[in-house]
Structure 1
Amino acid sequence: MNEKIRQLLDQMSTLEDDLRREVQAQEASALYQIKGKRVEFEAAIRQAHRQLKTSFFRWLVTNRPQNLITGPIIYSMIVPIVMLDLCVSFYQATCFPIYGITKVRRSDYIVFDRQQLGYLNFIEKFHCTYCAYGNGLIAYVSEIIGRTEEYFCPIKHARKMLGAHSRYARFLAYGEAQDYEAKLEQFRVRLGDKQPPERT
Structure 2
Amino acid sequence: MSRIEEIINEIKKLDNELLAEIQKKEEKFFYKINGKKILFEEEARKYQKEFMMKISTYLSNASFLNIVTVPVIWSCLIPALILDFFASIYQFICFRIYKIPFVKRSKYVVIDRNSLHYLNAIEKINCVYCGYFNGVIAYVQEIAARTEQYWCPIKHARKIITMHSRYHKFLEYGDCLDYQQRLKQLREDFADIDD
| DSSP 3-state at the match of 1:190 | coil
- Which position in structure 2 is the counterpart of 1:118? 117
SS of the residue aligned with 2:67?
A: helix
Shift of 1:25: 2.2
Distance 1:30 1:100 in 2: 43
The alpha carbon displacement at 1:6 in A equals 5.0
Q: Which residue in 1 is equivalent to 2:86? A: 87
Task: Please give the alpha-carbon distance, in whole angstroms, between the structure 2 residues aligned to 1:166 and 1:15.
Answer: 14
**Equivalent residue, structure 2, for 1:149:** 148
1:187 match: 186
How far is 1:178 from its partner?
2.4
The equivalent residue for 1:14 is 12
* Structure 1 moving runs of 4+ over 6 Å: none
* Residue identity opposite 1:47 in structure 2: K
In 2, the alpha carbon distance for the partners of 1:106 and 1:20 equals 22
RMSD in angstroms over aligned alpha carbons? 1.7
Asked if the contact 1:102/1:194 (under 8 Å) is kept, the reply is no
1:4 is aligned, of 2, 5, 26, to: 2
Matched residue type, 2:48:
H
- TM-score between the two structures when normalised by the length of structure 2: 0.92
Per-residue deviation at 1:10?
Answer: 4.6
Q: Gaps spanning 5+ residues in structure 2: where?
A: none
Between 178-187 and 64-73, report the one with greater CA deviation: 178-187
Q: CA deviation at 1:189?
A: 1.4
Q: Measure the CA separation in 1 of the matches of 2:153 and 2:52.
A: 49
Paired with 2:78 and 2:131, the residues of 1 have a C-alpha distance of 16
Counterpart in the other structure of 1:48:
47
Residue 174 (structure 2) aligns with: 175
- Select between 39-48 and 151-160 the one with higher mean Cα deviation: 39-48
Shift in Å, 1:141: 0.4
Provide the residue aligned with 2:21 in structure 1.
23
For the 8 Å contact 2:33–2:39, the answer to whether it is kept is yes
Post-superposition offset of 1:40 = 1.7
Tell me the CA shift for residue 55 of structure 1: 1.2
Deviation at 1:155, TM superposition (A): 0.7
Is the 1:53–1:119 Cα contact (8 Å) retained in structure 2? yes
Structure 1 runs not aligned, ≥5 long: none
Whichever residue aligns with residue 92 of structure 2, its letter is: A
Q: Take 1:194 and 1:165, find their aligned partners in 2: how far apart are those partners?
A: 14
SS in 2 for 1:48: helix
Query: Could you tell me how far apart the structure 2 residues matched to 1:64 and 1:16 are?
Result: 39
Distance 1:10 1:168 in 2: 10
Mapped contact 1:6–1:170 kept (Cα < 8 A): no
State the match for 1:136 in structure 2. Answer: 135
Show the counterpart of 2:105.
106
CA gap 1:40/1:120 in 2 versus in 1, 3 angstroms = same
Q: What's the counterpart of residue 194 of structure 2? A: 196
Query: Residues of 2 paired with 1:11 and 1:168: CA distance?
Result: 14
Equivalent pair of 1:49/1:117 in contact (CA under 8 Å): yes
Q: What is the CA–CA distance in structure 2 between the aligned matches of 1:178 and 1:159, rounded to whole Å?
A: 20
In 2, distance between residues paired with 1:25 and 1:172?
A: 36
